[in-house]
A and B are shown apart, each in its own frame.
Chain A
Amino acid sequence: MGEFDQHLLTIITFFPLVTALGLMATSILAKLLGADGLPASLWKPIALASSILTFLLSLRLFAVFDPLETGFQLVEHAPWIPEYGIQYFVGIDGISLLMVLLTTFLMPIILLASWNDISKSLRNYLFFMLSLETGMLGAFVSLNLFQFYVFWEAMLVPMYFIIGVWGGPRRVYAAVKFFLFTMVGSLLMLLAMLVLYYLNFDQTGVLNFDLVAPPGGEMGGLLQTVVPVDGIWWKTQTWLFAAFALAFAIKVPMFPLHTWLPDAHVEAPTSGSVVLAGVLLKMGTYGFLRFAIPLFPSAAVEFTPLMMTLSVIGIVYGSLVAMVQSDIKKLVAYSSVAHLGFVMLGIFALNVHGLTGGVLQMVNHGLSTGALFILVGMLYERRHTRQIADFGGEARPMPVFAACFGVVTMSSIGLPMLNGFVGEFLILVGTFLAAPIFAIIATSGVVLAAAYMLWMFRRVMFGPVDNPENRGLIDLGLREKVVMLSLLIPIIWIGVYPNPLLRRIEPSVIELIRQLEVRRGVVEVETEVAPEVDSEAAPEAEAEPEAKTETAKPDAPDSALPDEAEERL
């Protein structure tokens, strides 16, 4: 690996922030010198170019990433505050690779989509957007718990400003609510982190926040910590998991902690909604995958019924509430609650299908819901309303728009050959293997999703053009077409040929399950097995999703986790 690739993650993570700081520095410098500085019209292309470059760099990441290797790749480890075991430690596995790609992919699209949205203090807006990108990327690649926490919280600040400054009429309320909700969870998580840190210190004698052993280090990371199942209450897995889970569940958001989401989504500007739905919510599910579940596996299993129940409640409740919304944006926001319920259901199935589907659905939801928010934004830009009742027959004046909206709607519903299907299917299979009753209830969510999305689509797109204001609407311009096209490509591509992604997710997921078993003491540590897993799993992943179900279906529906894992071996 070349020198460049070794620092690739760091470069990708900090490139947007460096651009943002550089732009800010020029304007401060210009002010000090009494000059005008770069005109705001130049800031936009520079920010866009920076985000595109970041995306290209992450494509390189995709190319360099070795799907057959388990564990973390492209790691970089440097001392930060070594006295306390706080290191700069980044690395990715298949899961974080996809999250990084999703983030860097969405960011230029968001900037392009909101090209004309923002007129008020544009410079600050771009500064916050770019620093937000660094915050999100940093959280996805962090392998040091402290570092993760810093990014996780620091990310709030730009998002808070984006909602609060550039949002709708109730923006301040929404921004503060968003900030406070997240803070409650994260501060308790910080305490749990510290408890875990000292547990690890008691066992190893080393102060350490690294999740796994750094390259060349002999001490294991926090993942090697033995967390007691009972004993002093605040040192038990149950409570530590609860603290982590609360922080992540608020971010996901899981029912009943979702109330900040509709407010934040509706009030945020289009770009803010896309970032929220596309990436920020994934931070919660990612947190479960990377931290809460592997660190406290017994508690995770113990909590599974609760988590699954909350997930299906989220699916059904989110869908039902979406059905009665009169505001399109709010409808999409509640559909997010339902979709994220699916993701959580897949994750807590804790088997290969469920987890793989969950991770893939994280990407899918980012693309579909992001695209939906952009489309709603385009409508709003033209009509300055988001009420479904105000629209009707939009397909006539805006055929291209309607076509795009149609495809995205279908993908959100989970129509075969589009991305949503693959993820939801895998999740339902995984859930069925783990707990069939939940899978049955969740399936009703798919039906409900079709109902509320298609109903909305029909009312907005078809029918007579009753409202004279809808008559002269202009169809998508070139910029908007570019935006939609770049979103539709992956939406269709993942639906038809998801293997390149699945091939990268599966080894990481299998590794996660193996670790889970090891840490729960179910399976003996078999270091020799790990490489074999990948070489066998990879070709299997090539198979079409349909084929996968056939191998999976003969399994007894109540097959326990170990069986499932062994079957994969």
Chain B
Amino acid sequence: MIPAPDLNLSVLLPIILVAIGSMTILMGEVLLSRADTVLGREVTESFIGTVLAGTAIFFFALTLWASGVAFAGGGVQVFNPDNPMYQLDPFSSFVTAVLALSALLSCALSITYLSELRINHGEYYALIMLSASGMMLMVAAVDLIAVFLGLELMSIPIYVLAGFDRRKLRSNESALKYFLIGSFASAILLYGMALLYGVSGGTSFEALRAGFDADNPMALVGLGLVVVGFAFKISMVPFHQWTPDVYEGAPSAVTAYMSVTVKVAAFATLIRLLAMAFGPLEASLETIFWVLSALTIVVGNIMAIIQENVKRMLAYSSIAHAGYLMIGLVTGTIEGYSAMIFYLIAYTFMNLGAFGVVVALANRGNDCERIASFAGLARTRPGLAAVMALFMLSLAGIPGTAGFMGKFKIFMAAVNSGDIWLLIIGVLMSVVSVYYYLRIPVLMYMREPEDESHRTEIASGEGAVLVVCALAVLALGLFPNRVPTLLFGDLDVLDWANRSVGMFFGG
């Protein structure tokens, strides 16, 4: 008889929590649709908005708490010691906490938006939770198979979410495009993984590290294909073409969610892959990442200038930010990785905030998408205009905001490792980025309002998310080492970022 493996379920606790939440919501949705005929559509709608969204938020909060506790505890635990596939360590629990927090904020952002767009279905929250559980699996994975499993579990619900506004052609187009390109990317990734398996004779990160031969072309090709697979997910140039179309077509709340979380999860997984599996190939990877990073920064920033649609502009801006994040990968140092983690947190808040404003302006089935429709917003919606200006300044990297601290940390790491040319490119492109980010404050503050019907009321969920994001952007920009919170004392986010990647460097 085969002895029962000594499984350590607590490793998967955050993921299990999210999965339970997702199932609960699916069940609840079924029950509600039964009750639909009895109670009437109005009542079920409000149930979806309160009970189901509340459930999602509750479970994300539990996950946040669980991973926070795990992070505080430190130490490394594996799910199955005989065949380590998932690992609970400071890195995975920290990234899981970030993911849970951004998913929580996305859910709170969606409530009113979904009913404005008349797509208020309970599956929405279930899909968000499913994809979040996939991301959490992916960042905890220490085996290529597990990485792939997590990646697919993350991606497939997001394909559905992108097409969630199924009556809109563009939403459908977005879903189909994302699905097709995503499938190609997955196939390429899988092919690369197969080659790597062929080289090293194992799929676990440890086996990869041990079995690598840097001179073996098969290893290099496999590595290249794996990088390409991830390059699609984080929209590195030249694998970025889907990004603007998908971001534009998907409902804004979905764009907010996926633009942030997918990036966090994919970058975190890349960091883990590089640090744990591909260490011996560092040198050859550095050149590849150098070129890709420079390309991504340049193309993202230049293309963003000519956009007339906010969501497309933010899509290109997110490409540019991916480029800045990749500078961290180029350095390959603990400083670089910790800067990336910090940058991702900063990016989470400022990007969620920027999309949150777009969401909060959506009105009766229409997204507020044209950049021109921001004209005169300072007059009509002074509060929203003020936070939007803050998010734009933060994305542009003006001191005093989280975006600046993120860039500063990345630049610091890169100066220390001597990548001066990449930095000069990055810095000059930053100036370009200021130009297009400033367009929105220019319109909001320096132009007269157009006759555009925005929503005139802000929902409490959206308001709360925007306030949290705005405060976080300021706090991370001014006191990243002691972010003041009322409940939990001062948070040393800088130190957390260091600790989370410290484990890869024997810390």
Contacts and interface: CB of A to CB of B under 8 A. Distances in A.
B416 A198 contact: yes
Contacts of B427: 187-188, 190-191
A140 B181 CA distance: 53
A191 B415 contact: yes
A191 B445 contact: no
A81 B446 CA distance: 36
A175 interface: yes
A149 interface: yes
A187 B430 contact: yes
Contacts of A526: none
Contacts of B445: 161, 164-165
A149 B411 contact: no
Nearest to B433: A183
A179 B428 CA distance: 14
A153 B434 CA distance: 12
Nearest to B415: A194
A160 B424 CA distance: 25
Interface string B407-440: 0100110011000100110011011001100100
A187 B434 CA distance: 11
Nearest to A79: B481
Contacts, number: 75
Nearest to A189: B427
Interface residues of B, number: 30
A160 B479 CA distance: 25
Nearest to A31: B383
Nearest to B400: A154
**Most chain A CB within a 10 A radius of its CB, from B393, B424, B442:** B442
Contacts of A493: none
Interface string A144-176: 000001100110110011001100000110011
Interface string A91-113: 00000000000000000000000
A234 interface: yes
Given A153-B398, A154-B400, A180-B435, A175 B415 contact: no
B494 interface: yes
Given A179-B438, A198-B415, A83 B431 contact: no
A84 interface: yes
A475 B255 CA distance: 61
B31 to A, nearest CB: 38
B399 interface: yes
A219 interface: no
A172 B444 CA distance: 12
B434 A180 contact: yes
B211 to A, nearest CB: 37
Interface in A462-516: none
Contact of A154 (B398, B431, B446, B480): B398
Nearest to A192: B415
A190 B409 CA distance: 12
Contacts of B450: none
A150 B479 CA distance: 13
Interface in A176-205: 176, 179-180, 183-184, 187-188, 190-191, 194-195, 197-198
Main secondary structure of the interface of B (DSSP, over half): helix
B425 to A, nearest CB: 11
Chain A: interface size category: 20 to 34
B148 to A, nearest CB: 37
B495 interface: yes
B442 A184 contact: no
A214 to B, nearest CB: 18
A487 B441 CA distance: 35
Contact of A191 (B398, B424, B481, B495): B424
B448 to A, nearest CB: 11
B399 A149 contact: yes
Given A81-B480, A180-B434, A198-B415, A175 B446 contact: yes
Interface in A108-123: 121
B494 A164 contact: no
A119 B495 CA distance: 47
A197 B408 CA distance: 13
Given A83-B494, A84-B412, A195-B415, A171 B424 contact: no
Nearest to A27: B382
**Most chain B CB within a 10 A radius of its CB, from A156, A164, A191:** A191
Given A176-B438, A198-B416, A81 B494 contact: yes
Contacts of A190: 408, 411, 427
Contacts of A234: 420
B434 A194 contact: no
A82 B415 CA distance: 19
A284 to B, nearest CB: 18
Nearest to B424: A191
A157 B428 contact: no
Nearest to A171: B446
Interface in A31-86: 80-84
B399 A154 contact: yes
A156 B428 CA distance: 18
A188 B411 CA distance: 11
B398 A157 contact: yes
B431 A183 contact: yes
B430 A172 contact: no
Interface in B439-477: 441-442, 445-446
Contacts of B431: 180, 183-184, 187
Given A161-B445, A165-B445, A171-B446, A191 B400 contact: no
Contacts of A80: 479
A239 B231 CA distance: 35
Nearest to A181: B431
A172 B439 CA distance: 10
A165 B446 CA distance: 5
Contacts of B393: 157
A351 to B, nearest CB: 35
A153 B427 CA distance: 14
B442 A164 contact: yes
Contacts of A154: 398-400
B399 A183 contact: no
Interface in A537-553: none
Nearest to B429: A187
A184 B412 CA distance: 18
A154 B400 CA distance: 7
Nearest to A233: B420
A183 B430 contact: yes
A176 B437 CA distance: 11
Nearest to A195: B415
A184 B428 contact: yes
Contacts of B400: 150, 154
Contacts of B435: 176, 180
Interface string A119-139: 001001000000000000000
Contacts of A165: 445-446
Given A156-B398, A191-B424, A164 B415 contact: no
A191 B423 contact: yes
A190 B423 CA distance: 11
Contacts of A150: 399-400
B147 to A, nearest CB: 32
Contacts of B428: 184, 187
Nearest to B405: A81
Contacts of B481: 81-83
30 contacts: A80-B479, A81-B481, A81-B494, A83-B481, A84-B412, A149-B399, A150-B400, A153-B398, A153-B399, A154-B398, A154-B399, A154-B400, A157-B393, A160-B438, A164-B442, A164-B445, A165-B446, A176-B435, A176-B442, A179-B438, A180-B431, A184-B428, A187-B427, A187-B431, A191-B411, A191-B415, A191-B420, A191-B427, A194-B415, A198-B415
A-B interface, 10 closest residue pairs, ranked by CB to CB distance from nearest: A150-B399, A194-B415, A187-B427, A153-B399, A234-B420, A164-B446, A183-B431, A81-B481, A154-B400, A184-B431
Given A191-B420, A198-B415, 14 more contacts: A81-B480, A83-B494, A153-B399, A156-B398, A160-B438, A164-B445, A180-B431, A183-B430, A183-B431, A187-B427, A187-B431, A188-B424, A190-B411, A194-B411
